[in-house]
Amino acid sequence: MLQDAIATVAELAVQRHAASATRLHEFANAGLLMSYLSSQTAIARRAAAYVDKVLKGASAGDLPVEQPTVFDLAVNVKTLEALGLTIPPSVKPLVTERIQ
């Protein structure tokens, strides 16, 4: 059911030539132009390091809050072409996934 809604949103965006970005990767897979979000792999690794510190006796309240530093940028190439857009040269190195 949710997949149908995601596909409908993506289809409508392309029909209306809307360059759309989201933080949900599923939308880019369904046809939205791009998704940009913090790397879930990097967050899991940092979480594991925090768990390790707590298990070794550190107080969770004493651990610093961290901001994400690694991000994933996925671009749907089919949508990019349908909208007649190109990825600027300065952005190309940031693309971590090209969705066909």
Domain ranges of the chain: 2-99
Residue 36 has what pLDDT?
Answer: 94
Identify which of 91, 73, 93 has the alpha carbon closest to the alpha carbon of residue 33.
73
Residue 17 has what pLDDT?
Answer: 87
> pLDDT confidence of 24, banded at 50, 70, 90?
confident
**CB-count burial class (<10 Å; 0-12, 13-18, 19+) for 22:** buried
Residue 67 has what pLDDT?
Answer: 93
pLDDT tens across 29-81, in order? Answer: 888 999 999 999 999 999 999 999 999 999 999 999 999 999 999 999 999 99
